[in-house]
Structure 1
Amino acid sequence: MPHAETAGVEATPRTRLRWWTELPLILLVYACYSAGRLLARGDVSTAVDHGLAILDFEKALYLNAEHPLNRLFTREPWIGVPADFWYASLHYLVTPVLLVWIFRSRTVHYRAARTWLMTSTFIGLIGFTLMPTCPPRLLDASHGFVDTMAHYSSYGWWGGEASAPRGLGGMTNQYAAMPSLHVGWALWCGVMLWRYGGTRLAKIAAIAYPLITTIVVMGTANHYFLDAVAGAAVMGVGLLLAPLVMRTADRVRARFATASASVATASGGAARTGSAGAAARVAADPVTVGSADAPSSIVSDGCQTSAGERIPRQRDSRFEAGAEPSAVPQDAGDGAPAPAR
């Protein structure tokens, strides 16, 4: 492994990633993406003005590739129908599959790849909010665009309103065209395949997937060419910001861990202080073993009991002093000494 890459790996916190923590995070980001598109509807007239301004700017720079592509997709169903399937499905299938693949087989690089994708997605949501844009397909018919999703809706699961499933078109923000995250996510997928694919087929797919996606979004009249450029720019900014986002997350995690450790230490110290206090109180209260008025029942080191008590089979200490057993007075059981035999 190259030295630079090794240094980058060693600089990454050795935190083992778990799928049950990653999956909710991915779902949260996607929910924010969907909710952001839904909430950032903006004013329709403003969105139309933005769309026309982009179209005029492209025409002035001779960048207007949307019209010829849209006419081709409308005229040739064998191109238009697969393109609509491409637009409506691969955006939501290829990206998660590649995330899972990197998580399982390229774990060292997963966190950076995921952070890059998420950061760029949030930047895209800001773009949807600040600049609602009417896509070409929703412009007046006089501008020469045909909505191929509506044109070929009988071939797929989507309806005539948007690429959403039938009946759910009203739940989407159809004026979230700038930037194109279809192109942005496809570019992310291409970079992942190029860097970690390892085969010639993977490198071909790394180039073909974002390129075809760019053509599809324009030919289906869902995006302008500048939307695609903005999607690529958003991914570039997200790539630059991803290390900063990871460092910030590491600092927050470290502070949280330090605070948790401090709370645990304080709790443990209080518990130890309470135990020490109890021990000190026990040590301060001496236990009275015996007195002249109240004989002790505690067996002493000489195995003696209190007066009148004997432990069965107890060896009397007088035996140990050398006395003969016959010389030891025997107890008759009533407490009075027996006569010597």
Structure 2
Amino acid sequence: MESNLTISEAPPQWNSKPMYHLPPWGEPLIVLSILCGAMFLTRRRNYQILGKRKDTTYNAYLDSDSSTSSDDLLMHDSDIEDELQQDTTTTKYLPKRRNCFGLALYTPNTSRFANHFHSRILQKFPFLIEMFYWIITYLFYRLTKVFAEIIFTSSIIDIAQAHGLAILDFEQFSWASFLFPWKEHDVQHWFMEGHQTALTILNRAYALIHIPGTVGFIAWYYYIAPSHATFATIRRTLTLTNLFAFLTFTLYPCMPPRLLPAEYGFHDSVRHDNATSIWMSGKYVNSLAAMPSMHFGYAFVIGCTMFYHSGIFRTSLEKGESKKSIWWKIIYCLIGIGYPAMILITIVATANHYWMDALMATVVACAAYFCNGIFLVLLPVEDMLLWVLRAEKPIPTTGERFRQRGGRI
């Protein structure tokens, strides 16, 4: 590919000593610990998997003869408890009515399976549903490499390199060059020429923060969000951001800076430090998926969520949301700004992404937020899956115990 890019000198000599290398089971153990901790923290108390249920409100919902779906209770709070307890519908297990693209669909009512053992496990640990959703999302990511190779066959490497160089060309010589005042290789060279210890730390951060950090945020937000509807909006936004990105990975393979020919001046510092994440290695990992950056896409959504819940720009609270002290507002704002900024520096300094990748991740995340409701059309599919599994979807516990505690943050 012909390009106007200035060919850089070879990267400086790398002298930093690699940090401690986690064993292969280290990262899975971290993620598993977070998920198990979240299951315990968000469990439904006063409910026994075996034996009689003690939660009267919960009994009223499960034993009601209505066709109400658990999805109608995403805003489950004391205001609807009386309504649930007064439900005296005489027809048992009426079908659920779903709206899909303006059409009314009727799906089987799975409340008849509420006393099945696996249903009761879900009712005790409702966070298991969120874990299932994220496993499905991760499997979709692993398939992007397969689909991209089917589409582009053996030419995928050359196409991905051409796309990477086209991005550098656009950043440096297009009408939008003012948006990118610093070149990516200049940022990496700044760290390599006298700040290699800092780069070593960023290498480890790139490997360890993305998956555990995002899973940790989902677990924390499931517990702390003022309502499950609020939590579900952010969860759907992250998931749709994923799917938009996966579609781009498949149709627009893009080589990250670290894999470009050496004359462009980039160094694969993460692999030098043996800091590659187990989640980003293996046969089905798509190494030609630089555009957009999911590291920054996730961080941007998390940062915006933290900023929103700081309450700085709001005059009123959501129902179920606790008032925060000035110190907690400051902490939320610092995380909201600092986390995306740290991730942005990390992905550029380690030569894993271009500035444009972060910019497009921001656009994709914003589009996902405004379009996240599209996932609601999949509720009939979920109903059918639960019917096949003979399971009832649990009522979420999001924020319940924190509000019962009368917490103030």
Given the two structures, how large is their TM-score scaled by the length of structure 1? Answer: 0.64
Deviation per residue, 1:187-242 (Å, 9 max, x gap):
11112222235521121011011111111111110011101111111101101111
**Counterpart amino acid of residue 47 in structure 1:** A
Alignment match of 1:79 (pick from 198, 201, 205): 198
Q: Please give the root-mean-square deviation of Cα atoms over the aligned residues, in Å.
A: 2.6
Question: Pick from 203, 217, 220: which aligns with 2:347?
Answer: 217
Is the CA contact (8 Å cut-off) linking 2:254 and 2:291 kept in structure 1?
yes
Is the CA contact 1:73–1:148 (under 8 Å) kept in the aligned structure 2? no
1:29 alignment counterpart: 137
Change (3 A) 1:165 1:88: same
Cross-structure match for 1:68: 186
Are the structure 2 counterparts of residues 39 and 138 from structure 1 closer, same or farther at C-alpha, using a change threshold of 3 Å?
same
Amino acid at match of 2:221: I
Alignment partner of 1:33: what SS?
helix
Q: How far 1:99 moved relative to its partner? A: 0.8
Amino acid at match of 2:364: V
Aligned partner of 1:183 in structure 2 is 296
> Which residue is 2:315 aligned to?
none
Query: Gaps spanning 5+ residues in structure 1: where?
Result: 1-11, 261-341
Q: Report matched runs for 1:85-100 at 5 Å.
A: 85-100=204-219
Deviation at 1:152, TM superposition (A): 2.4
Name the CA shift for 1:170/1:23 in 2 (closer, same or farther; >3 Å). Answer: closer
- In the alignment, the residues of structure 2 paired with residue 185 and residue 174 of structure 1 have an alpha-carbon distance, to the nearest angstrom, of 18
Q: Provide the residue aligned with 2:27 in structure 1.
A: none
The CA distance in 1 between the partners of 2:141 and 2:256, in whole Å, is 18
Higher helix share: 1
Among 231, 237, 243, the residue aligned to 1:110: 231
Aligned positions of 1:204-243 closer than 5 A: 204-243=334-373
Q: For the structure 1 residues 217 and 24, does the alpha-carbon distance in structure 2 shift closer, same or farther, using more than 3 Å as the test?
A: same
What is the letter of the counterpart of residue 197 of structure 2?
A: W
1:109-258 matches, within 5 Å, as 109-153=230-274, 156=275, 158=276, 163-164=277-278, 168-196=281-309, 198=324, 199=328, 200-246=330-376, 248-250=377-379, 252=380
What percentage of aligned pairs have identical amino acids?
A: 26
Give the residue type in structure 1 aligned to 2:358. A
Q: Which amino acid aligns with 1:59?
A: Q
Paired with 1:253 and 1:170, the residues of 2 have a C-alpha distance of 30
Alignment of 1:299-338 (within 5 A): none
* Equivalent residue, structure 2, for 1:19: 127
TM-score, with structure 2 as normaliser: 0.54
Does structure 1 conserve the Cα–Cα contact (< 8 Å) formed by 2:142 and 2:284?
no
Instruction: Work out which structure has the larger RCO, using CA pairs closer than 8 Å and 6 or more positions apart in sequence.
Output: 2
Structure 1 counterpart SS, 2:231: helix
Question: Which amino acid in structure 2 is aligned with residue 205 of structure 1?
Answer: I
Kept in 1, the 8 Å contact 2:244–2:364? The answer is: yes
TM-superposed CA distance for 1:58, in Å, is: 0.8
